[in-house]
Amino acid sequence: MVSIAILIIYMGIMFWISSLPGEKLTPERGIGITISQSIKHLGEYVILGILVSLVLAQVTNKTLSIVFWSSVFSVCYGILDEIHQAFVPTRYCTIDDMGINAIGSVIGVLFYVYVHHKLKRKASLSHGQRDISTKSSARI
């Protein structure tokens, strides 16, 4: 339930940021650095892909379903977000940004699946070690 709330809040923040005029989107210039819009889009959608995967993992444990539906949802949100930006002054909608959003989404989903499986494997290995040590000590 908490992960759904976090996802909705995050998507709301993304929508709000997309509603801002373009000149308000570079606060990092105030500290003397510049971050590419492509990097910002990629990072934003990596996070979205991870959060959507977390929510879907609560519904199913089928990895392919998580990958497919998390990717579809995140990519569609990225496309709709770009279309929304076409109506915001000094913002624009580009196919390039849609592509970067899609790549970021899929990277986030795959990152989630990779980490989830690593943690699951580690937990099952450590659980297996406990079973072995318990059985060994029981024999003595």
Q: Rounded CA gap, 94 and 13, in Å?
A: 21
Number of folded domains that form the chain:
1
User: What's the confidence (pLDDT) of residue 37?
Assistant: 81
- Given pLDDT bands bounded at 50, 70 and 90, which one contains residue 23? low
CB 4 within 8 A of CB 55: yes
Residue 40: per-residue pLDDT:
86
Rounded CA separation 136/131 (Å): 9
Distance CA 8, CA 96 (A): 25
Helix axis angle, 95-139 relative to 63-85, nearest 10°?
150
pLDDT digits (tens, 9 = 90+) for 120-136: 888 888 766 555 545 54
Give the tens place of pLDDT for each residue, 75-114.
999 999 999 999 998 888 999 999 999 999 999 999 999 9
* Structural domain harbouring 64: 2-139
Output the average pLDDT for the chain. 86
134 Cβ contact partners less than 8 Å away, ≥ 6 residues apart: none
pTM to 2 decimal places: 0.82
